[in-house]
Chains A and B, each alone.
Chain A
Amino acid sequence: MEKVVSEAEELPKAIVRRVVKEKLSECSPDYDFNVHKDALLAFSESARIFIHYLSATANNICKESKRQTMNAEDVFKALEEIEFSEFVKPLGASLAEFKKKNAGKKVDQSRKMRRKRRENRGFICRKRNQNQAKETG
């Protein structure tokens, strides 16, 4: 594969490597499987193109529904369209988990934001007073 000086973002090599190696040790638990460096690159590139492929398909579906924002439904439909329908179930589970986790987070986040804003306001007021004092002093 040519080395492209990427304007293209790549997936982190370490993570790709871990996913591959874990699966390989599952496939052949009795002996160690190695992965050639070029093969790892091929995995990364393939995954990146998969993202593009799925993304473009989902985007088309989104636009056909006259919407601007690609959502989960679009992605699920896209998976069916590109014949990766066996991904739909595990992805659904993953999404449910993510939503559950973030339900709690959202409340925390908004509290933190309110606190931050209060602090910032206090800070700005103090700064303004300091500057005024400097100017008049």
Chain B
Amino acid sequence: MDSNKQAESSSYPPTSSITPPPAIPPAPFHHLLQQQQQQLQMFWSYQRQEIEQVNDFKNHQLPLARIKKIMKADEDVRMISAEAPVLFAKACELFILELTIRSWLHAEENKRRTLQKNDIAAAITRTDIFDFLVDIVPRDEIKDEAGLGGMVGATASGVPYFYPPMGQPTGGPAGPGGLMIGRPAVDPTGGMYAQQPSQAWQSVWQTAGPDDGSYASRGSGGQGNLDGQG
């Protein structure tokens, strides 16, 4: 920049008297400038690299050391290859994304714009492969929100049973929640949730089969280790 000023001041005919010539002789000054420019170039290319690296690390945002600690909390897990925590970080992220989408669906169905714990609980209940989380986010947190489309309930034993859909106008959230004909006297611990939008969920429940069987058979290795944890 300075060299530009220098060039300009020498080209201004009468006003050159206003900008006095630099006291430093031009040759070493020029050399310094070159150095400075080189340094700036290096600085900026380094910054660019840094930024690119940060973008790459978007894939491993979860800290690998922390993940490793979590894994090692299980005493059965001894040695872990260097690649494993990387995989777990990504898997964790994908898992959270899945859970988010499904929880969001529940919030949307109930016309809310705040994700609540019961949304997550509902997502867990609805999704077979999330069965391992059934005890983590308790189902009794699920509130009865929407009206009375088809209704699905589960007893404490986990076997789902369902009521035929009522001749009830759909739409309209939070009806008089207590008005449910045919509901058992003992409110099953939170297994109930009303579904408005589609009958699709009913068919899911119909084919699901008894919860107990599938729950027990899946991840049997993992299940044992979860006792006393979480």
**Which residues of A pack against B, CB within 8 Å?**
1, 7-9, 11-12, 15-16, 18-20, 23-24, 27-28, 31-36, 38-39, 41-43, 45-60, 68-72, 74-76, 79, 81-84, 87, 90-91, 94-95, 97-99, 101
Contact = CB atoms under 8 A, between A and B. Distances in A.
Contacts of B103: 39
For chain B, give the interface size range.
35 or more
B121 to A, nearest CB: 8
A84 to B, nearest CB: 6
A104 to B, nearest CB: 11
A35 B115 contact: yes
Interface in B55-108: 56, 59-63, 66-67, 69-71, 73-74, 76-81, 83-84, 86-88, 90-97, 99-101, 103-104, 107-108
Given A36-B116, A49-B230, A75-B88, 8 more contacts: A19-B100, A23-B100, A24-B100, A46-B99, A47-B96, A50-B133, A69-B80, A94-B60
B113 A34 contact: yes
Contacts of B86: 94-95, 98
Nearest to A94: B90
Given A53-B219, A97-B59, A43 B129 contact: no
A57 B92 contact: no
B157 to A, nearest CB: 23
A17 B128 CA distance: 25
Contact of B81 (A48, A50, A53, A72): A72
A31 B56 contact: no
B77 A49 contact: no
B96 to A, nearest CB: 5
B226 interface: yes
B16 interface: no
Which of A12, A31, A43, A46 neighbours the largest number of chain B CB atoms within 10 Å of its CB? A46
Given A8-B230, A47-B92, A83-B218, A95 B99 contact: no
B78 A68 contact: yes
A72 B87 contact: yes
A50 B129 contact: no
Nearest to B103: A39
Q: Nearest 8 CB-CB pairs, A to B?
A: A69-B79, A56-B222, A60-B221, A34-B114, A53-B222, A71-B81, A23-B100, A38-B117
